[in-house]
Amino acid sequence: MSLFRHRSSIEAKTPDQLRAMRRAGLVVADTLALVRGRAAAGVSTGELDAAAEELIRSAGAQPSFLGYHGFTGSLCTSVNDEVVHGIPGSRVLREGDLLSVDCGAIVDGWHGDAAITLVVGGRDRGRPEDLALMDDTEDALWDGIAALRAGGRLYAVGDAVEAAVESALPRRADQGVSAYGILEDYVGHGIGRQMHMDPHVPNYAVTSTGPTVPSGATFAVEPMVTLGTIETRTLDDDWTVVTTDGSRAAHWEHTVAVTDAGLWVLTAHDGGEEQLRARGAPFAPLAD
């Protein structure tokens, strides 16, 4: 889940606190894996939400989203032109729908937050342009994470995300992609004992120096990219954000810890090892 913020202080965590956040992150990872397996034509977003809540609670955790400012789901389920904050309910999924699922969980007071995008029915049911959007947004997420360093510039995340999206676009003409838009009003954030903490983490290049990343910092990095405009509007439910031109959107997110030794993706089952090593970024999990 993403809310736009305008602050810059960054809270550092101790190793024990990072391990606690890892436990919350693994609940989120397990929940998203469950949802991925159950998202099929004929299944409602409310059914996915009920399954997610059951798993979260059975793991001894609490849903981060449920009741947050009145939100009524344990997941955000955003379909096709819905970018973020879609409320689970009676909507029945169809083959080929592009579904973004955002999940948060709390363990012992510590939050984990992550999101995935998938094609309902599997990749072979997806439109070529949707597959390109989904894959390029995920790649941009990992490029953004890999740009983080203790002592480095936080806004390097946005530089890397924007560069990844822009460099991908020329390769996608044969898949029907003519434009990508990186949302600017919905960004990543600090995370810890609260789901949304300072500072905001832009998904686009920012010319200002911005804050320096301390060792022990934790962030939710979450690019949202569309097949058209960056302009959005919020539906009458006061939550669901949709593109104004009806273009489809993808949303990927992970919670990541930054230490002097390197990066640990708290909401990835492998801690982010595969993706980070592929990008030459330092992978540095803490011993449990």
Q: What is the 3-state secondary structure (H, E, C) of 48-63?
A: HHHHHHHHHHHCCCEE
Concatenate the DSSP letters of all residues of the chain into one string. -----------B--HHHHHHHHHHHHHHHHHHHHHHHH--TT-BHHHHHHHHHHHHHHTT-EESSTTGGG---SEEEEETTEEE-PPPSSPBP-TT-EEEEEEEEEETTEEEEEEEEEETT-GGGS-HHHHHHHHHHHHHHHHHHHT--TTSBTTHHHHHHHHHHHHHGGGGGGGT----EE-SSS-EEE-SSSSSEEEEE-SS---S--PBPPTTEEEEE--EEESS-S-EEE-TTSS-EEETT---EEE-BEEEEEETTEEEETTSTTTTHHHHHHTTPPB-PPP-
> What mean pLDDT is reported for the chain?
96
pLDDT band at 128 (very low <50, low <70, confident <90, very high): very high
Say whether pLDDT at 1 is over 80. Answer: no
Average pLDDT value for residue range 125-142: 98
Supply angle C-alpha 234, 83, 152, rounded to 5. Answer: 110
Say whether pLDDT at 159 is over 50. Answer: yes
pLDDT band at 3 (very low <50, low <70, confident <90, very high): very low
Query: What pLDDT, in 10s, does the model give residues 93-106?
Result: 999 999 999 999 99
- Say how far apart CA 85 and CA 22 lie, in whole Å: 24
Residues 6 or more apart in contact with residue 54 via CB below 8 angstroms = none
pLDDT band at 157 (very low <50, low <70, confident <90, very high): very high
Query: In the numeric block, which tokens belong to residue 81?
Result: 């032109």
Say whether pLDDT at 6 is over 70. Answer: no
In angstroms, how far is CA 285 from the centroid of its own chain? 20
pLDDT on residue 5: 41
pLDDT band at 4 (very low <50, low <70, confident <90, very high): very low
pLDDT band at 288 (very low <50, low <70, confident <90, very high): low
In angstroms, how far is CA 67 from the centroid of its own chain? 20
pLDDT on residue 249: 98
pLDDT on residue 209: 84
The answer to whether 139 and 160 have CB atoms below 8 angstroms apart is no
Average pLDDT value for residue range 20-30: 98
pLDDT on residue 7: 43
pLDDT on residue 14: 98
Q: Rounded to two decimals, what is the model's pTM?
A: 0.96
What is the β-pairing status of strands 188-190 and 75-79?
A: unpaired
- Say how far apart CA 89 and CA 74 lie, in whole Å: 11
Query: What pLDDT, in 10s, does the model give residues 31-76?
Result: 999 999 999 999 999 999 999 999 999 999 999 999 999 999 999 9
Query: What pLDDT, in 10s, does the model give residues 253-276?
Result: 999 999 999 999 999 999 999 999
Q: Which of 2-6, 140-144, 220-224 has the least mean pLDDT?
A: 2-6
Query: What pLDDT, in 10s, does the model give residues 196-242?
Result: 999 999 999 998 888 999 999 999 999 999 999 999 999 999 999 99
- Say how far apart CA 224 and CA 220 lie, in whole Å: 13
Query: In the numeric block, which tokens belong to residue 239?
Result: 């939550």
| φ/ψ (deg, to 5) at 177 | -95, 120
Supply angle C-alpha 165, 170, 176, rounded to 5. Answer: 95
